[in-house]
Amino acid sequence: MAHLEINRLTKSFHGNRVLDRIDIALEKGTFLSLLGPSGCGKTTTMRMVAGFESQDEGTISIGGQSIDSFPPYKRNIGMVFQSYALFPHMTVAQNVAYGLEQQRMSRGDIRKEVANALEMVQLTGYEQRKPKQLSGGQQQRVALARALVTKPSLLLLDESLSALDKNLRSAMQIELRMIQKEIGITTIFVTHDQEEAMTLSDRIAVMRAGRIEQIGSPHEIYEQPANTFVAGFVGQSNFLKGTLEEAGEGRARYVLDNGNSLFVPIPASGPAYAQGTGTILSIRPEKIRLTRDVSAQTGIKGTIKFITYVGSTFTYLVEALGQELKVQRQNDSNDHSFRQGEDVWLAWNAEHQTLLTE
Ligand code: ATP
């Protein structure tokens, strides 16, 4: 049985449905990110799990027990929010001790638990500081220690790293993930940053307008996106709208809506490619190879329209098949001698393309 189970969670505000039958099941110790654009319902989902908001329909259970009728303080959930919400007049030790005092733990035990929690977040020695005497990253760690000190069965993190600058943020991502793995706590993390979700998660739930569009491992989400929204939100992709015709031995003719056509390789395994189906062919920019070698021609001819360089990669905007395709190559790939205006051939492996619905 899953450790956390959310079934058909539904919520409307003033007649406007903001969550529509959300289903999530997590094994113990799983790190899940809720990923999606602003307003898709991530925070509302979290607030319902925490008990700050009640659902119209659906159930939430932890360890097989429904928590729907429990007030927030009885749910045994640790939380860290973007603003940390540390008590400014209390010391670090007092902030971390707060939840234990509410539980009426003995002073000796509190001291021990606070010391353990601060050691876990590498803040031993900072006990007597006030929050304003700490850096943003340190405040973040105090908030984490405070959330974990009561040994909750679930940890909720809402955009909790977004106030940190880029370098500190990526260092905290690694630290957070290491702590989470070490104590094995089931975690839900809210973010609208796809890279952050990819870095941290065992599983990602991609949300749009109150629904989960896809839930899976970062690898599944990236390599087998369920639709164009997921493919476009997690990473980038080129979309070629068209119809599959004349499916035959290992390849099919794909006629684009703009009249152009190409032969696409069909992988030996994977979804059935029914002839005559309207679909969208999705191909990631980094999966497209470029060559000027005519003998290697694949039938897709293009012209390089624009080149951008960001050190580690080159991005080529290539006009091909009546539209612009984005192609991304590593700086070490020997492709970087292409010039603007040059004619090239494009190719990709069958297993790297996906046929999607909108
Ligand atoms: P963001 O990334 O911007 O925080 P989000 O994905 O967390 O967005 P939510 O905060 O869950 O989205 O909001 C989902 C929708 O519900 C939005 O349209 C929001 O305006 C609406 N909403 C949230 N809380 C309330 C409320 N208390 N009353 C009315 N509408 C609300």
- Best substitution site from 44, 48, 208 to test ligand 1's pocket, by max atoms within 8 Å of Cβ? 44
The protein residue whose alpha carbon is closest to atom 3 in ligand 1 is: 38
Collapsing DSSP to helix, strand or coil, 220 comes out as helix
> Is it true that 4-227 and 236-356 share their CATH fold?
no
Ligand 1 centroid to 43 CA: how many Å?
7
Domain ranges (residues) in the chain = 4-227, 236-356
Task: Write down the CATH number for the domain with range 236-356.
Answer: 2.40.50.100
Q: pLDDT tens digits for 139-178?
A: 989 999 999 999 999 999 988 777 778 888 888 888 899 9
Give CA angle at 339 (334, 343), nearest 5°: 95
**β-strands 211-216, 77-81 pairing:** unpaired
pTM comes to: 0.89
Instruction: Indicate the top mutation candidate among 9, 18, 42 to test ligand 1's pocket, ranked by most ligand atoms within 8 A of CB.
Output: 18
Q: Regarding the domain with residue range 4-227, which homologous superfamily does it belong to in the CATH classification?
A: P-loop containing nucleotide triphosphate hydrolases (3.40.50.300)
- Per-residue pLDDT tens digits for 16-69: 999 999 999 999 999 999 999 999 999 999 999 999 999 999 999 999 999 999
Q: Does ipTM exceed 0.90?
A: yes
**Chain segment 243-288, per-residue pLDDT in tens:** 888 767 777 888 899 888 888 777 665 556 666 667 899 999 999 9
- pLDDT at residue 199 tops 80: yes
Contact 179, 144 (CB under 8 A): yes
